[in-house]
Copies of this chain bind each other. A is one copy, B any other.
Amino acid sequence: MQYPAPIAKLIHSFTKLPGIGSKTAARLAFYILEMNEADVLEFAQNLINARRDLTHCQICGNITDTDPCLICSDTSRDRTTILVVEDSRDVMSMERMQEYNGLYHVLGGVLSPMEGTGPEDLNITQLIQRLEDETVQEVILATNATSEGEATAMYLSRLIKPAGIKVTRLAHGLSVGSDIEYADEMTLYRAIEGRREL
């Protein structure tokens, strides 16, 4: 005996999401059956709305429901600095810090020869165009501290530096609140390398 068709289809839809295997998908699908019908309708509507109403900002590539996005069109922000991140979630993380007041640029990924992602697959042409007008004085490369993130930062740095713009990279070192005992070698090495005088 198989699952009844409607639940089998729902389980199949859930398994298409990242990190959700068939057991979790079944658990979620059965949970949906017991949910308030209004909540389920709202969930379905939210799925459709999010997919349909959100686009990428034409300027920075961030996810937005207005174009240009709220950050790009906010005149109170510092237009001399662009912080380059891998994806829109990174923008949200930076904004949560409430310390950075410049602009962003979302690459939409990282260079990854393994996955066949080259420079042409990322939002790089648009970044270079933004640098042509002479307002921007600094580009902060905030790709992840992974090997792909590092490689992408190196690539962008070589591309941007010749234009005479200051290019910086986020500091690497110990996480705040972490124990040296549990830090990996690379992190420790970066922490020593980047040590600062007190």
Query: A28 an interface residue at 8 Å Cβ cutoff?
Result: yes
Q: Which of B28, B40, B45, B92 contacts A51 (CB 8 A)?
A: B40
A2 to chain B, nearest CB (A): 8
Q: Which of B27, B44, B52, B54 contacts A47 (CB 8 A)?
A: B44
Identical copies of this chain, number: 2
Query: A185 an interface residue at 8 Å Cβ cutoff?
Result: no
What residues make up the interface of A, taking CB atoms closer than 8 Å to B?
1, 3-7, 9-10, 12-13, 16-19, 24, 26-33, 35, 37, 39-54, 63-66, 70-71, 87-89, 92, 95
- A-B contacts, 30 of them at CB < 8 A, read A1-B71, A1-B95, A3-B92, A4-B54, A6-B46, A6-B50, A6-B54, A9-B49, A10-B47, A12-B46, A13-B42, A16-B35, A16-B39, A17-B28, A17-B31, A18-B27, A26-B89, A26-B92, A27-B89, A30-B63, A30-B87, A30-B89, A32-B47, A33-B50, A33-B63, A40-B48, A41-B51, A44-B45, A44-B47, A44-B48
